[in-house]
Amino acid sequence: MNISSDFEQAHLGFSVNRYGQQRMNTLVTGGAGFLGSHLCRQLLQSGHKVLCIDNLMTGRMENIHDLIGNNNFLFQQHDIVDPIEITQSLDRIYNLACPASPPQYQKDPIHTFKTCVLGAMNMLELARRKGARILQASTSEVYGDPQVMPQAEGYFGNVNTCGPRACYDEGKRSAETLFHDYHHAHDVDIRIARIFNTYGPSMSPEDGRVISNFVVQALSGQDITVMGDGSQTRSFCYRDDLVRGLMSFMEHPQKIAEPVNFGRPDEYTVLMIAEKIIDLTESKSRIVFKPLPVDDPKRRRPDISKAQSLLSWTPVTSLEDGLAATIAHFSALAAEQAEQVNSDACVV
Ligand code: NAD
Ligand code: UDP
């Protein structure tokens, strides 16, 4: 596919942003998704030009509706499994395209694996041809069900190659290998960000991950579905902190080709998260227990000392503040939907 005479035209004649910094032509894959849409917005606010590519599998146009019409932004629907030609010069590529929620990435595991591997290959080829720096959104899932706590980048992980999570975990591991090899074989300037569980506003209510599920359930008075006995742990980072970290990693002047963890190191059981969300929403929802999914990791907590020392990055948003912002977002969405239903009923 050949994209973007529009992008090319939109980009002629600009090389410096309003801060006098170099204006980057930036490609964001997965830019209509939860993290990608926030990243697109932050890049535009920093004065860069953004080409957003997404197949809209889990991403939504609502996430980027305010960006459509911005002269520095172009959206193109495209699946990164298929090769892409872009005539415009590119300085940066953020490769975020891939469903991240287990129920979503398990719907079509072969496509998920292709997205991770063929998608990474296509983006690396593009980076090589354009001389662009490229950042891969990797994941804490490369550690699988970890046997060491906390997980530092030197840990090789404990992943089942044949389980229901393998399409994602092994796909992301293979993508890291491809990044590493393109760096060594073709001197592509790569960044590999291992992202731990991140949540926040603009998650889809249908996403299926724990925080969005619990918030939607608590606000609508449905049962809160805790998998297993809820003793498994995760560490939750707020969206804005994470995206700030990715941008500073991308722009770090030193070539950092080794993976770097991004996450918030506080560890909570899933049951604690359910109780906290019930408290914060003052919900009457009951907690119900469902079977633990196969290969669900028992504990996860990032060691972020590398990000702290290399980038001076540290997450600053507390779980309470992040949850409050997320709850406010889902409440507003529910109110909008209720208003829509009422006005439809009036029309009838
Ligand atoms: P998301 O599902 O909201 O966003 C993924 C986006 O990629 C969606 O817009 C989707 O439509 C798009 N996409 C999927 N497959 C595609 C394909 N083949 N071609 C083009 N577009 C495609 O998920 P997210 O939480 O925003 O995650 C973004 C990235 O960060 C993913 O690569 C994910 O693996 C990684 N990550 C996220 C987390 C997290 O907790 N949010 C943790 C670890 C890694
Ligand atoms: N989980 C849960 N109820 C839900 C969704 C998820 O108890 O409605 C659990 C899930 O089994 C896992 C944890 O919450 O133990 C985090 O799940 P999520 O899908 O958010 O992320 P991941 O498992 O990929 O870390």
**DSSP states of 27-43:** EEETTTSHHHHHHHHHH
Strands 190-195 and 133-139: parallel
Average pLDDT of the chain?
94
pLDDT for residue 22 is more than 80: no
Q: Which atom of ligand 2 is nearest to the CA of 214?
A: 8
CA 215 vs CA 14, 37, 58, 114: distances in Å: 43, 21, 19, 32
Give yes or no for residue 195 having a pLDDT over 90.
Answer: yes
CA distance 62 to 10: 23
Helix (H) or strand (E) segment spanning residue 95: strand 92-95
CB under 6 Å to ligand 2: residues? 101-102, 197, 209-210, 213, 225-227, 232, 234, 270, 293, 296
209 CA: nearest ligand 1 atom: 40
Is 238 a known active-site residue? no
Distance CA 108, CA 113 (A): 9
**Lowest mean per-residue pLDDT among 17-21, 236-240, 245-249, 269-273:** 17-21
Find the 342 Cα to ligand 2 centroid distance in Å. Answer: 34
C-beta separation of 236 from 264 below 8 A: yes
- Ligand 2 atom nearest 293 alpha carbon: 11
Q: For ligand 1, is residue 35 a contact (CB within 6 Å)?
A: yes
Per-residue pLDDT of 309-336, as tens digits, reads: 999 999 999 999 999 999 999 999 988 8
Catalytic position from the list 168, 182, 199, 238: 168
Separation CA 210–CA 201 (nearest Å): 14
pLDDT interval class at 337 (50, 70, 90)? confident
pLDDT of residue 340: 77
Query: Residue 28: nearest ligand to its CA?
Result: 1
State the closest ligand 2 atom to the C-alpha of 292, by its place in the atom list counted from 1: 11
Cβ of 94 less than 6 Å from ligand 1: no
Residue 5 predicted with pLDDT over 70 = no
| Residue minimizing CA distance to atom 35 of ligand 1 | 137
> Ligand 1 pocket check: which of 53, 98, 195 to mutate, most ligand atoms within 8 Å of Cβ?
98
Q: Distance from the CA of 262 to the center of ligand 2, in angstroms?
A: 19
274 Cα: distance to centroid of ligand 1 (angstroms): 24
Q: How far is the CA of 5 from the centre of ligand 1 (A)?
A: 26
Q: Is the pLDDT of residue 268 over 50?
A: yes
Taking only the tens place, the pLDDT of each residue in 31-48 is 999 999 999 999 999 999
Of all helices (H) and strands (E), which one includes residue 129? helix 109-130
3-state secondary structure of 108: coil
